Amino acid sequence: MADIDVDAVLEQLEDAEKIALLAGRDFWHTNPVHRLGVPSLRLSDGPNGVRGTHFFNGEPAACFPCGTALGATWDTELLHRCGDLMAREAKAKGAHVILGPTINMQRSPLGGRGFESISEDPVLAGKGAGALLRGMEENGIAATLKHFVTNDMEHERNLVDAIVSERALREIYLMAFQVAIRECSPSCIMTAYNRLNGTHVSETKRILTDILREEWGWHGLIMSDWYGVYSTAEAINAGLDLEMPGPTVWRGPTLSASLRVQKVRRKTLDERVRNVLRLVKRCSLSGVPEDAPESTVNTPETADLLRKVSADSIVLLKNENNILPLKKNKTLAVIGPNAKTTTYCGGGSASLRAYHAVSPYEGISDAYGKDVKYTVGAYAHKELPILAPQLMTGDGRKGMIFKAYNEPPSDKKRKPFDELYKTDGVWFMVDYFHPEMNVALWYATAEGILTPDTDCEYDFGLSVCGTAKLYVDGELVVDNDTVQRKGSSFFGMGTAEEIGRVKLHGGKAHKIRIDWASRATMKVQSSGVNFPGGGLRIGAVKVMDASEEIQRAIKLAKGVDQVVLCIGLNSDWESEGHDRADMLLPGEQDRLVHAICAANPNTVVVQQSGTPVFMPWAKNAPAILQAWYGGNETGNAIADILFGAVNPSGKLSLSFPIRNEDNPAFLHQSSEAGRTWYGEDIYVGYRYYQKLKKAVLFPFGHGLSYTTFSMDHLKVQMVKENGTGVQPNTIVVRVAVKNTGNIAGAEVVQVYVSPAPTSDCVSRPPRELKGFSKAFLQPAEEQYVEILLERKYATSYWNEREDSWVEEKGKYGVWVGSSSDFDDGRGLIGEFEISKKSTWRGI
């Protein structure tokens, strides 16, 4: 892709060409101006992997652990390597721009996309994102920080008004972006869907121009989230450069008219176009040609890095009597709904088709090397488990055959214009296209064969964006056509799941057929983003008596030496498009955990979720691992930790409250009459729990190891002058860390700062994270770890009266430890002093 002269191109562009450059060509591409050498750019999701240009039937890709898992590594060097691999993945997919990372705040455990974001703390989120950005940008790939700003929940996300104080906005929500931009300035920033204090963010000049561009001095491209533009002149004048996706809704003839009557001035138009052209010039460094074919780079090195990242993200929450690591010379059972189901990523924009996906059962069985006993114990699904992997095609392959038509099933002479072999069962056709298809209205069938082992009843389910019916041996079992109910599927624009039950016979090949029609046939009005195309989700599960299955699991647990119990959530529960209703584990999982822990004292609970869950059994569980959504290598990484091939070093990237009612946003975690009051103000996550001295289940920054560490010899030094090798106005925190155990491991040194008294009667958190470093140590090894804090970031708060950052004079405390909880007396405490009050703005 050739370089361009931005000013020369801008001078030659006609108005129609300028306007075209400010919106997408299609779902994933910008518009080109070929006569002036301006190519089309390809953009691709996302936050934990690079999908390419297809939700439906796309090329496989590397799926990284989810955002909260990446944050839980507390390892910026490792995240830099992740960014580097993401850049290579982008080049394989022909993408110039990656739509990630996500750094919104988890102000509530229930946020549907909480798993996508890195942390509840802006410093950890910002520094983690900065490391990812460096890995992408250094390789010529443009990265996109998102969603700017306060896009912290899914409920009514396109219309909800986030009411946030200026102080909370500055200290928490903007701060994550501010830190990330300081670490590595990204090429792009994506605006949030929501309103902020009365105005949609995509139309808020104070946020997009006054703060981001002028105060912070950032000069990249601002794009909308998909269908997140709601005006023409207002968005252009506020600073929004690129409307996505295309074809445009707001920038065609409407923008031409706005230019004619000077609702948008030509100077403003040229500023927006210049930013697009700068991005095109920037992307020429990638070496990715225009409209490149998509491919894969599935290498052993890719798998090795994904396995390491996943293992390093796993947090050992509890390990009584050193149950872990497991013993390979003792008998073992694996129980639980997440054991054989690979919950490797959350739902929505983060989802992709992975190169491979290793289940916990597969990883454990491979590492154990002997027979592993198994039973499911309980179900955990929200919608029925995906059907396709349970089926066989007529030629003996696992999966289904998908055929697309322009005519309905009633046309007996119809012929398919496309035929695909499918092994997945969630088909989002938003970017599906075939040259022979009727885009406005088309149809599809999916067929496969289900052969159960024994006589049993099966539940089948369909959720759609469109209409569909499911037949078993020619008999209608599920009708999601005649009558439909609104649901949360497909980003909130699909139906609720309709379920039908049928008796099946063991050993018999039952023919399954689904007839589907595109979105144009849908009976109910969608409430989500207006994506085209449509979608189909096909589920099925054997009907099970919950009490009988738990008794079966208890019997199995009693007959072995040790048990791994795999529980948690999945992409049904944590997904873009909807928030969780509560923190509860679905189904009978809590009952199962209580029963298995009582049946076998050597039970390890492996809990998978992207955000906290209620754990009423935590006191009774001997060992607990928080395993997140671990990407391609989920099962292998879990096995590495369970058997001690990897010593756990993850730390929680967000607080785990005891109950949902304890979390600071409990009274304000959904839209009420179109608005949400951020009533917790600056007291998000651990700041709130410490201020109220409220107990949590597991604190922010918590994580155990198979070895032990000590910290000593804390020294805090203020560097005021040049010539020391350290930038002036830096606080140097130095501490000795020693591995006092008998195996190699890693400890995260976390530095928190407590404030001096304010002169303006302003409430401040007891202490806040300001820096961290991860040290890898051999047994008996001691290292001196040095963490540099920029003084103004370590000390300042936003003073609304003075409309600036304020650094108070006085003594500040420095708290150094291995988590945010210093009540056990294990942390080290130092101090430094500021002699004069000062104010500042900027970055």
- Using CA atoms, how far residue 830 sits from 196, 728, 814, in Å, is 39, 20, 5
Determine the Cα–Cα distance for residues 500 and 518; give it in Å rounded to an integer: 22
In 3D space, the residue among 448, 310, 303, 297 whose CA is nearest the CA of residue 386 turns out to be 448
Determine the Cα–Cα distance for residues 478 and 492; give it in Å rounded to an integer: 21
For residue 169, the 8-state DSSP code is I
Query: Which H helix or E strand runs over 457?
Result: strand 456-465
For residue 18, the 8-state DSSP code is H
Question: 3-state SS of 331-362?
Answer: CEEEECCCCCCCCCCCEHHHCCCECCCCCHHH
Determine the Cα–Cα distance for residues 75 and 746; give it in Å rounded to an integer: 10
Residue 225 annotated among the catalytic residues of the structure: yes
* Pair type for strands 161-163 and 675-677: parallel
Whether the Cβ atoms of residue 297 and residue 87 lie closer than 8 Å to each other? no
- Could you give the dihedral angle defined by the CA atoms of residues 406, 410, 411 and 412, in that order, rounded to the nearest 10 degrees? 130
**Phi and psi torsions of 378, nearest 5°:** -165, 160
* Pair type for strands 510-517 and 467-472: antiparallel
Catalytic residue among 45, 152, 161, 225: 225
Sign of the alpha-carbon dihedral angle for 835, 836, 837, 843:
negative
Determine the Cα–Cα distance for residues 478 and 498; give it in Å rounded to an integer: 7
Beta strand residue intervals within 206-288, DSSP E: 221-223
Quick one: tokens of 198?
């009365």
Instruction: Find the DSSP H helices in 284-391.
Output: 300-313, 360-368
Peptide bond into 123 cis (omega under 30): no
Please count the other Cβ atoms lying within 10 Å of the Cβ belonging to residue 541.
Answer: 19
Determine the Cα–Cα distance for residues 436 and 29; give it in Å rounded to an integer: 22
Determine the Cα–Cα distance for residues 70 and 102; give it in Å rounded to an integer: 11
Quick one: tokens of 532?
């085209």
In 3D space, the residue among 42, 540, 487 whose CA is nearest the CA of residue 292 turns out to be 42
Determine the Cα–Cα distance for residues 101 and 179; give it in Å rounded to an integer: 13
Quick one: tokens of 17?
């060409």
Instruction: Tell me which amino acid residue 191 is.
Output: T
Whether the Cβ atoms of residue 476 and residue 469 lie closer than 8 Å to each other? yes
Active site residues: 225
